[in-house]
Amino acid sequence: MQLLSFQLRRLAACICPYVMPMINPFSKSFKAIELEIFDFLSKIPFFQALSPNEMARFLPAIHRRKYQQGEVVFFRGDPSQALYLIEKGRVNLNIDIQENMEVIRVARTQEAFGENALLADTKRIYSAIVDSEEAELIVIPYFSIQEIFASHPKIQAKMMTALAAFYNRNNQVLFSSYRNSYGFFSLSQLYEDNQ
């Protein structure tokens, strides 16, 4: 959209060089640090469909936190209190199987974890433990996400679509893994009602 606007102003300048380009007095201009955050967010699937103005809704909620190797970000079963975005480092996402921790995924720079914080009233399904010497994370609290969703349903719809695509990819990987392991784990447990 900005490219089209720029091209139209350039065309107008060629046709009539004495006409001043129109400036929209209502358009928001962002600081360089905000643009850097938007650039980072746009690389994370949950934020890719959002415009800069939509991403700006998250700016007041964002805070940064440093973790050291071996530090627990959260445990499986904890309430989902925040979405985490990795600026630097690695975080192991683990599940506990018969008293052993098994890494199900390693989240790296420019990836998110704790994605179920996008959903209302959920608990963590895995533990998150810092694997690299240090990790720098952007933390977006659950309550801030829910406030944004309540007042901006288009943002919620875009992020829920991205979350559905994320879970669909995970299901595909799970089913592929099951087929490749010749059924050595019980796929029926995936859909059992745990009540």
Has residue 181 got a pLDDT over 90? no
Domains defined for the chain, CATH in brackets: 32-158 (2.60.120.10)
Is-contact 170 105, C-beta < 8 A? no
Q: What is the pTM of this model?
A: 0.77
Task: Report the 10 Å Cβ neighbour count for 169.
Answer: 11
Model pLDDT, residue 27:
57
Model pLDDT, residue 129:
97
Model pLDDT, residue 98:
76
In degrees and rounded to multiples of 5, residue 169 shows phi and psi of: -60, -45
The two three-digit tokens of residue 73, written as one number: 């970000």
Average pLDDT over residues 99-107: 87
Has residue 194 got a pLDDT over 60? no
Has residue 38 got a pLDDT over 50? yes
Model pLDDT, residue 61:
97
pLDDT tier at 3, thresholds 50, 70, 90: very low
Top-confidence residue, 26 or 92 = 92
Distances (CA, A) of 96 to 17, 27, 51, 76, 182: 69, 50, 38, 8, 22
Model pLDDT, residue 153:
98
Model pLDDT, residue 187:
46
Model pLDDT, residue 101:
83
In degrees and rounded to multiples of 5, residue 98 shows phi and psi of: 45, 55
Has residue 166 got a pLDDT over 50? yes
Average pLDDT over residues 143-157: 98
Mean pLDDT of the chain: 84
Average pLDDT over residues 121-134: 96
Cα(121)–Cα(143) distance, rounded to whole angstroms? 10
